Amino acid sequence: MINIQILKPLWNKFIGYTSTISPLVDLGVRLWVANVFFTSGMTKIQNWSSTISLFENEYAVPVLSPEIAAYLGTAAELSLPIFLVLGLISRPAAIALFVFNIVAALTYPDISPLGIKDHQVWGLLMLVTIVHGPGKLSLDHWLKTKFFK
């Protein structure tokens, strides 16, 4: 039988290493999600008439007119990722993008199974930030340590 006490120092070292890289992983998660949505927003503003056409003919956004939905969706995709990158109001930004992601997945009628998987991955990554927070490499963390000790 393996003596657990022998494994304890190895486990503690492992935990120490993972704690050291945790802020980088948190930052990586935020950067990944921010890149996906910001790139999509940039694509939309490159050809606005095409974007309006997409919202009129493809996306079935409930309640909003296609033009309003296009403006709001593009604004969300261009602004919320900036907050994620900076780690500023990270949880609210991640919640907003999480909801936006669900709406996008549900309102696009021709989404492929691979597209659904992409939206699931992005949703899961946003849940990490929502539940875990943005991590130590964020303005949220800096503000918390500076002003809310």
The answer to whether 29 touches 84, Cβ cutoff 8 Å, is no
Mean of pLDDT values over 116-122? 96
Mean of pLDDT values over 98-123? 93
Quote the pLDDT of residue 1.
58
pLDDT category of residue 88 using cuts at 50, 70 and 90: very high
Q: What are the sequence ranges of the domains in the chain?
A: 33-147
The answer to whether 81 touches 33, Cβ cutoff 8 Å, is yes
Mean of pLDDT values over 45-63? 91
Amino acid at 21: I
Quote the pLDDT of residue 4.
80
| pTM score of the predicted model | 0.88
